[in-house]
Amino acid sequence: MSFIATRSALRSQLRPSLARTFASTPAANAQSLKDRMAELIPKEIENVKAVRAAHGNKSFGEVTVDQAYGGMRGIKGLIWEGSVLDAEEGIRFRGLTIPEAQAKLPTAPGGSEPLPEGLFWLLLTGEVPTDEQVKGLSQEWAARAELPKFVEELIDRCPNTLHPMTQFSIAVNALNHDSAFAKAYSNGVHKREYWKTTFDDSMDLIAKLPNIAGRIFRNVFGDGKLPAIDANKDYSANLATLLGFGDNADFVELMRLYITIHSDHEGGNVSAHTGHLVGSALSDPFLSFAASLNGLAGPLHGLANQEVLRWVQKMRSQIGENASDEKVAEYVWSTLKGGQVVPGYGHAVLRKTDPRYTAQREFALKHLPEDPLFKLVGQIYKIVPNILLEAGKAKNPWPNVDAHSGVLLTYYGLHQQDFYTVLFGVSRAFGVVSQLIWDRALGMPLERPKSYSTEAIKKMFEGK
């Protein structure tokens, strides 16, 4: 047998032992996330029963014809446990605002931004984990990170001209090949046990996303060579290393913040709702999240940060650096008068500045206060809301998360804008799969809202 074949065989023998090795580490002596979920689920089932018994026949509110035609905007019709979006104060992750999450969630040694591992624990349990529990998650995800060989080959065979998000979706779909949930369902597992293999698949999915994203990035924009996952590093540090930025401590901190604030934004946005909808058909987490990615790839959702950066860069090229407020205002007005929107401003729900924008602005003020592009973004922040109010173009003239993220990424040298939505996708997995686990634990049904035709609506209101 050749050396390569021998090494391959040895790796195959060792791979199943990785999880067992993790189980013997000091960090694993703390209660695991799955064990904690097993404790919480029976209590939450009873809690849901009590809520339905007390409030099940009460109305959330009316649904208007305009809402039906307007993309179901504002219709109350979903259960989403991980986060709730308030129009005035922004997102709360299990009750915590972004500043509160930054203050309470564990950080890396020497770091100040929350670790996404802690945010995932919070989304699932509603509890702030310990440093030891977060370390255990980092190690478990590192142990689960290896991709099946055929998935690596599938990514490698994609042409460089295929959009990174398309490649991302293809690879995630392909992970369905090894779905623990699909196998258990096929074997007739009891529905009360659905959540356990959904949890296992979800952990595998999150763990493998950095390798998928890194492989796509290196193939499309680099030499195709990928470093190994480091079991001693946290999730964001490994992702940064796979992208080629692991030696920059500030970029690693940015990834920790980026993943945390992009992870979840309640259940009505396209990517979250799509994952929930497809998952309600008992599709496994890989198929469900691949569907989320396809929604996230759209210009009205995850692609927006890319559009913002291009608009800002085009503005700078036309009016120059250190332009006056008057020049910036003229450019904004020219955008509006040209029949275009100002990208990155306005939100379907929010009516104040997005706290995710604020968190990124504070990061920039700390790490890159003199960057010319950041200064321009700050100038735009000062000018655009008043113009939008004067033009009557927006109920919410304030910036959202997309108005800032591209500037941070490009500052650290990540100029490949077509890849930005992939990073968004890595982040959004945390919220989508945490809810999917709870959907299975609570026995949530197939989603099937009622629809009407335009003619049916006309008949409905005839003579009224």
The CATH number that applies at residue 401 is 1.10.230.10
Q: Based on the domain organization, do 161 and 239 belong to the same domain?
A: yes
Active-site choice (347, 354, 404, 439):
347
Active-site choice (204, 301, 354, 439):
301
Active site residue 265: no
Domain count, the chain: 2
The confidence score (pLDDT) of residue 29 equals 63
Domain that holds residue 275: 135-299+422-440
Active-site choice (284, 354, 402, 439):
402
Q: Based on the domain organization, do 433 and 357 belong to the same domain?
A: no
**pLDDT tens sequence across 368-421:** 999 999 999 999 999 999 999 998 866 788 899 999 999 999 999 999 999 999
pLDDT at residue 293 tops 80: yes
**pLDDT tens sequence across 304-362:** 888 899 999 999 999 998 999 999 999 999 999 999 989 989 877 777 889 999 999 99
Q: Based on the domain organization, do 154 and 261 belong to the same domain?
A: yes
Q: Is residue 19 a part of any domain in this protein?
A: no
Q: Based on the domain organization, do 318 and 393 belong to the same domain?
A: yes
Active site residue 347: yes
Q: Based on the domain organization, do 295 and 348 belong to the same domain?
A: no
3-state secondary structure the chain: CCHHHHHHHHHHHHCCHHHHHHHCCHHHHCCCHHHHHHHHHHHHHHHHHHHHHHHCCCCCCCCCHHHHHCCCCCCCCCCCCCEEEECCCEEEECCEEHHHHHHHCCECCCCCCECHHHHHHHHHHCCCCCHHHHHHHHHHHHHCCCCCHHHHHHHHCCCCCCCHHHHHHHHHHHHHHHCHHHHHHHCCCCHHHHHHHHHHHHHHHHHHHHHHHHHHHHHHHCCCCCCCCCCCCCHHHHHHHHHCCCCCHHHHHHHHHHHHHHCCCCCCCHHHHHHHHHHCCCCCHHHHHHHHHHHHCCCCCCCHHHHHHHHHHHHHHHHCCCCCHHHHHHHHHHHHHCCCCCCCECCCCCCCCCHHHHHHHHHHHHHCCCCHHHHHHHHHHHHHHHHHHHHCCCCCCCECCHHHHHHHHHHCCCCCHHHHHHHHHHHHHHHHHHHHHHHHHCCCCCCCCCCCCHHHHHHHCCCC
Q: Based on the domain organization, do 256 and 338 belong to the same domain?
A: no
Q: Based on the domain organization, do 284 and 179 belong to the same domain?
A: yes
Q: Based on the domain organization, do 399 and 436 belong to the same domain?
A: no
Active site residue 55: no
